[in-house]
Amino acid sequence: MYHFKNSLFYLLLIAISISSCSEKQTQITQKPNIIYIMSDDHTTQGFGIYGSRLAGLNPTPTLDKIANEGIIFDNCFVNNSICTPSRASIISGQYPQTNGVLDLEGVIGVERQYLPKEMKKLGYQTAIVGKWHLHDEPAAFDYYKVLPGQGDYFDPEFLVRGEKPWPDNVVKTKGHSSDNIMDITLDYLKNKRDPNKPFFLMHHFKAPHDDFEYAPRYEDYLADTFIPEPESLYNNGNNGSIATRGKNDSLTRIIGSSVSHRNLIRHQANNIYWNDTTVYKKYRNAQDIAPSEYVKWKMTPEERDYTSKVYQDYLKKYLRCVKGVDDNVKRLLDYLEAENLLDNTIIVYTGDQGFMLGEHDYIDKRWMYEESMRMPFFVRYPKSIAAGTRTDAIINNTDFAPTLIELAGGKTPDYMQGHSFKTILETGQEPEGWQQATYYRYWMHMAHRHQNPAHFGIRTKDHKLIFYYGKYWVDTDDPNATWNKESWGNDFGNHTPPAWEFYDLKQDPKEMNNAYSDPKYKDIIAGLKDQLIKLREDINETDAKYPHIQKVIDAHWND
């Protein structure tokens, strides 16, 4: 009897052991959930982890915690710092000439919504919530609830799949968009998905895009705090070139929307003083600027006081929107932790590009300068990413889709131009042969009263080379050319001077000295030009289809 009981006991132990191993095996082989969180215009200066002048304000405690529990990328860059093209590269894994989206009017149809298509092949439920901004229906996703176009900050409408054709299925909501978008995400996670399948969710905040309309509960946040100001807000040193400044700095009066009154067409007071009818949206047109107004800008003591006030108001509104994002991400983390989903969910956070917060007296994005070109990017997944990891490996937004696909167990499709950095996530080290440079191109030219000249360039870890060619991608001098002449606030036909800029980022990280003419950099610049030619060819970003631009390049390549 004793031996019989003993045998039963051992059999029971073996059964429990087998069951336990089976459960462990199931946990090991279960695919991770993936949540890709992206805010609009959330620049690296607006975090604690990136060590900017604003870090001491602790603007993102929740996001910093996520970042510190995973890997932080210090050299993540956008290839075109404007909403629609950036999102198109993220969803397609391709550069603009390949995916067809050069500017804000570009469209990504369902046939090119590659990322959700590939994720579905790998067994994932796919969903997108919040800002879409790629115009056509996001039909490749299993579930969507997205803002129409830019969407509204307050009481936003959302577009959903329904009986009517896109975009006629509209759901109205009340409240602030950051809260509402998170409400939708949490509802999806709680009630809309199949809990027996892994999910891939793209959660896109509208905030902190201008006009920085924060939720009322943040009215007192930072109210009595002095926000640190960049020195270049008042003195731009030797930043820029004749392409951005003109002869005798005359073009500074129309190029690059400003914090100060410098830009006569659009400055930040036009965007942030919502209740002041004398200034809000009171933009001017480039065509209306008289020749006598093209004079060198002077920062008088009175103007300095005004600029500081606008800057303080601007940054407080911006950071209140950021605070709303951070608090809502906390809601998501709390849900994942309560449902025991947190550690089997890969959490990615980024912005769709960078943003100028007064550096060089610029607002908005579009520039190839660091604050506009650099994207925040970090990933938390404790099963394979060590906490406290940081890397200076160069990645860009075309690399996101290949990486997400490989994290889901797939392989990068041949049609994608980006490269998976999955091994960097898992090891913190660059693999042999990893890219040492990234390409940038702003196609639009003098658009939306922000007045940024068209340009392209290359950035390595140490250097940056920019060429301003100063023409719209459509040949506006051709009487037979067609383009959207009703597009808002555009000055496409204004050809601006071509010029080169070069920055030694190790010696001059704030890009205060255009050293293109310094003879000591002659060989470095020549090497960067060679790299730039090859890179443009490799990624299908030459100007073979744009002879009016190629003519400028040929004429000024060796300036």
Predicted confidence (pLDDT) per residue in 174-233, tens digit: 999 999 999 999 999 999 999 999 999 999 999 999 999 999 999 999 999 999 999 999
Q: How far apart are CA 198 and CA 408, in angstroms?
A: 9
3-17, 197-211, 388-402, 526-540: lowest mean pLDDT where?
A: 3-17
Q: What is the mean pLDDT of the chain?
A: 94
**Scanning the structure block, which residue is given the tokens 């604050």?**
371
Phi, psi torsion values for 357, nearest 5 degrees: -110, 55
Q: How far apart are CA 155 and CA 528, in angstroms?
A: 49
As a three-state string, the secondary structure of 214-264 is CCHHHCCCCCCCCCCCCHHHCCCCECCCHHHHCHHHHHHHCCCCECCCCCC
Q: Spell 525-544 as b/e; 16+ CB within 10 A means b.
A: beebbebbeebbeebebebe
Question: Quick one: pLDDT at residue 486?
Answer: 85
pLDDT > 80? residue 556? yes
pLDDT > 60? residue 72? yes
Q: Quick one: pLDDT band at residue 15, thresholds 50, 70, 90? A: very low
Q: What is the mean pLDDT of residues 28-50?
A: 93
Tens-digit pLDDT profile for residues 90-142: 999 999 999 999 999 999 999 999 999 999 999 999 999 999 999 999 999 99
Beta strand 143-146 with 71-77: parallel, antiparallel or unpaired?
Answer: unpaired
Q: Is 462 left (phi over 0), alpha (psi -120 to 50) or beta?
A: alpha
Question: Quick one: pLDDT at residue 261?
Answer: 97
Q: Quick one: pLDDT band at residue 29, thresholds 50, 70, 90? A: low
| CB contact at 8 A, 436 and 528 | no
* Number of neighbours of residue 260 by Cβ within 10 angstroms: 21
- How many Å is the Cα radius of gyration of the chain? 25
Question: Quick one: pLDDT at residue 485?
Answer: 86
pLDDT > 50? residue 1? no
Q: How far apart are CA 274 and CA 213, in angstroms?
A: 9
| CB contact at 8 A, 246 and 254 | no
Q: Tell me, what DSSP letter sits at residue 519?
A: G
Q: Quick one: pLDDT band at residue 30, thresholds 50, 70, 90? A: confident
* Number of neighbours of residue 305 by Cβ within 10 angstroms: 10
Q: How far apart are CA 468 and CA 499, in angstroms?
A: 5
295's tokens:
């004079």
Q: Determine what percent of the chain is predicted with pLDDT higher than 70.
A: 95
Q: Quick one: pLDDT band at residue 487, thresholds 50, 70, 90? A: confident
pLDDT > 60? residue 13? no
16-30, 75-89, 531-545: lowest mean pLDDT where?
A: 16-30
Residue 126, H or E segment: strand 125-130
Amino acid code (one letter) for 543: D
Question: Quick one: pLDDT at residue 25?
Answer: 39
Q: What is the mean pLDDT of residues 260-288?
A: 96
